[in-house]
Amino acid sequence: MHAVLFQVDFKPDWVGDTDAELDQVVAMTQAMPGFVRATWAKQETWGVSFVVMADEESARAMAAGQAIPPEASVTFRSVEVLEIARDV
């Protein structure tokens, strides 16, 4: 298995419904081929998501296919594909 680690920064003056936006992101993520599970975490100004995919090809496709529209509440800080060494 492989994972995609997304790090994002929240736009400080963004106005909108962040819960609804995250619901859309979750639905799109779950629909990706090879999806296994994912976790989203945040603090005041930034957040991360850790998306587990069945294989490296699926993980790389997810990382390459992600784009944030200009009207979104976040900007990408980084996107990395990682091999999962242990999963407990």
pLDDT in tens, 40-75: 999 999 999 999 999 999 999 999 977 788 888 999
Q: Which helix (H) or strand (E) holds 23?
A: helix 18-30
On the question of pLDDT at 22 being above 80, the answer is yes
Let me know if residue 38 belongs to a domain: yes
Q: For residue 48, what pLDDT is reported?
A: 97
**Tally of structural domains, the chain:** 1
Task: Please indicate, yes or no, if residue 41 is contained in any of the structural domains.
Answer: yes
CATH number at residue 55: 3.30.70.100
Backbone angles phi, psi at 24, to 5 degrees: -65, -45
- Has residue 88 been placed in a domain? no
Which 8-state DSSP code applies to residue 34?
T
Predicted confidence (pLDDT) at residue 23 exceeds the cutoff of 80: yes
Q: Which of 55, 79, 82, 50 is nearest to 67 (CA)?
A: 79
Q: Is residue 61 part of a domain?
A: yes
Residue 42 belongs to what domain range?
2-83
